[in-house]
Chains A and B, each alone.
Chain A
Amino acid sequence: DIQMTQSPSSLSASVGDRVTITCRASQGINNYLAWYQQRPGKVPKLLIYAASTLQSGVPSRYSGSGSGTDFTLTISSLQPEDVATYYCQTYDSAPQTFGQGTKVEIK
């Protein structure tokens, strides 16, 4: 089974800062990588799929990059509404593992 490892597990940044979250797969996943946002008490929301394709309606300050086993989610200018936990997930094959999550807070 593929393991997904996110880092850091949490971070605190100021409004307007550039934020980067990393996700590493235990083997190649053909860029079948998604990023989700879960605000406190809310349902998860798809942000990015296929490693770098922005889901419709998601603000352009979000971007995804990477290939092979190493992937990155970037928020170019952190906003107060971005306070959430972010998860990566591979859907290359079953089981389609989630990373353990990265909690983003405002400093």
Chain B
Amino acid sequence: EVLLVQSGAEVKKPGESLKISCKSSGYSFTNYWIGWVRQMPGKGLEWMGVIYPGDSDTRYSPSFQGQVTISADKSISTAYLQWRSLKASDTAMYYCARQSAIGRFGAFDIWGRGTMVTVSS
């Protein structure tokens, strides 16, 4: 079974750093793009970016470029989303999701359950 297991909910203060994870299983991690999607409370889905773990090629939305870092560790089939300095406006649910096509962009066919990040002083 293909699974994406995300790390647990986080409560942080503004200015703190954070790295959340998404562990993959049941498929060849290096052959599929994997990405992150933000959903702020009561709002729609926002595409943040994707990474191809095979060669670490990473693409960002202009809205998130420079604000977050997407990375992957092939040795443990895990993707990450990282912030250096959180803001209250980063409060949201963050989903990781796998793209469906081998070696190229595809629809997000497998989703993690989401990691809720709350940033509050």
Q: Is A45 interfacial (CB-CB < 8 Å)?
A: yes
Partner among A45, A50, A95 whose Cβ is within 8 Å of the Cβ of B62: A95
Task: List CB contacts (< 8 Å) of B71-121 with chain A.
Answer: 95, 97, 99-100, 105-109, 111-114
Is A44 within 8 A of B95, CB to CB? yes
Chain A 70-101 per-residue mask, 1 if CB under 8 angstroms from chain B, else 0: 00000000000000010101011111111111
Given A46-B109, A49-B100, A98 and B45 contact (CB-CB distance below 8 Å): yes
Does B111 lie within 8 Å of A45, measured CB to CB? yes
Q: DSSP class of B's interface residues: helix, strand, loop or mixed? A: strand
Answer yes or no: A38 CB below 8 A from chain B CBs.
Answer: yes
Report the minimal beta-carbon distance from A55 to chain B, rounded to whole angstroms: 7
Q: Is the CB of A96 within 8 A of B46?
A: no
For residue A91, which residue of chain B has the nearest CB?
Answer: B105
Query: How many Å from the CB of B61 to the closest CB on chain A?
Result: 4
Chain B interface residue bracket vs A: 20 to 34
| Nearest A residue (CB) for B114 | A43
A49 contacts B105, C-beta separation under 8 Å? no
Residues of A within 8 A of B (CB): 1, 32, 34, 36, 38, 43-46, 49-50, 55, 85, 87, 89, 91-101
A45-B111, A98-B44 are known; give 12 further A-B pairs, CB within 8 A.
A1-B62, A32-B105, A38-B45, A44-B37, A44-B45, A46-B100, A49-B109, A89-B47, A94-B60, A95-B60, A97-B61, A101-B45
Residues on B facing A (Cβ under 8 Å):
35, 37, 44-47, 49-50, 59-63, 95, 97, 99-100, 105-109, 111-114
